[in-house]
Amino acid sequence: MDLRTRKIVLVGFMGTGKSTVSRLLAEQLGCSRYDSDEVIEQTEGTISKLFETYGEAGFRDIESKVLDSLLEVDARSIIATGGGAVLREHNREAMLKHGFVVALTADAEHIINRVKSDTTRPLLQGDVAANVHRIMEQRKHAYDFAHLQLDTTSLTPQEAAEVILQALQEE
């Protein structure tokens, strides 16, 4: 792999801070940043509407295409992925091929506090706490494939960005 174009790819459960930390990393490295959820919303419509129209599987097809296109860009960049992008083996392999993959984690109570007033995540609507616990259990090993695991429960987004930059230097 050409290290000059190697991406930093952030994976992790909803609310672990992928979007937030990716902004800080891009600022600090002076490189481009892409967020697959944002790209999908700019090109295809809101995530809620896509779930409603095509179902989760249809949304995942769109997500895989967008992720492939972001990973193929021939320049260094930070890529924040959607929380469920790791569910497909194709996506996991592509992320590992093109990037340094960092899994952000946080405990359920912190995640619930971070996401409870946001209505943009269709899988969490209704009983947010129960949905977080159920989906976290389903995905308890889904993020294990990453090169680095980083628990953000008691870190600020800036502290999380610093740990990632340090780990990258030590690679």
Ligand X SMILES: O=C(O)C1=C[C@@H](O)[C@@H](O)[C@H](O)C1
Residues that bind ligand ATP (CB under 6 A): 12, 14-20, 37, 80, 82-83, 114-115, 121, 152, 155-157, 160
* 38's tokens: 């944002």
Q: Is 17 in the site for ligand X (CB under 6 A)?
A: no
Rounded Cα distance between 141 and 3, Å, is: 28
Closer to Mg ion by Cβ: residue 76 or 81 = 81
Q: Is 111 in the site for ligand X (CB under 6 A)?
A: no
Closer to ligand ATP by Cβ: residue 17 or 100 = 17
CA end-to-end span of the chain = 13
Within 13 Å of residue 123, how many CA atoms lie on the same side as its CB? 19
Closer to ligand ATP by Cβ: residue 37 or 63 = 37
Q: Are strands 32-35 and 99-105 parallel, antiparallel or unpaired?
A: unpaired
Rounded Cα distance between 79 and 125, Å, is: 25
Kindly state the smallest distance separating residue 4's Cβ from ligand ATP, in Å: 26
Rounded Cα distance between 128 and 123, Å, is: 9
Scan residues 16-45 and list those touching Mg ion (CB under 5 A): 18-19
- Interacting residue with ligand X among 14, 26, 66, 101 (CB under 6 A): 14
Q: Are strands 77-80 and 7-12 parallel, antiparallel or unpaired?
A: parallel
Kindly state the smallest distance separating residue 86's Cβ from ligand X, in Å: 9
Closer to ligand ATP by Cβ: residue 6 or 114 = 114
